[in-house]
Structure 1
Amino acid sequence: MTVTLTVLARPDCELCEHLGFALQQHLQGRAELVWHDVDERDDWRRRYGLKIPVVLDANGLLLMSGAFDATRLPPALR
């Protein structure tokens, strides 16, 4: 079973690009990253709009925001 992580970001967000690059390098294909604009949904914008980039697990739970932090990933992905 493939692990799916959701990344909430905004276009032209340099911090988002850095987190995405670090996440991809760390995961090396062990999880699928699905990117969304945080402004696509009102609930995302209200909850995470000032915290982007944000990484959510498959259940929508916050794993990390801002800078990449491998310790915030599930044990199987650390």
Structure 2
Amino acid sequence: MPGGWNEFDATPDAQKAMAFVLKQMDTLSSFKQILTVHAQIVSGVNYAIEFEMDDGSIWNTIVYRNLDGE
């Protein structure tokens, strides 16, 4: 469905989005794993990522990637 959210595997693009988030985070915990990835195709892609840190905390983030891949 155009504009709807769909679940995906952790593709290389989703992993790049996750790397961007981790670079921006100010935490002493280390990244453990991606739990879920949802993507929404708009004029680019929104990635909704749920991930776990090594301290057991669960985080959620949304990252937008434009059509130029930025």
Instruction: Indicate the TM-score class for this superposition, using the shorter chain for normalisation.
Output: 0.3 to 0.5
Higher relative contact order (CA 8 A, sep 6+): 1
Larger radius of gyration: 2
**TM-score normalized by structure 1?**
0.34
**TM-score normalized by structure 2?**
0.36
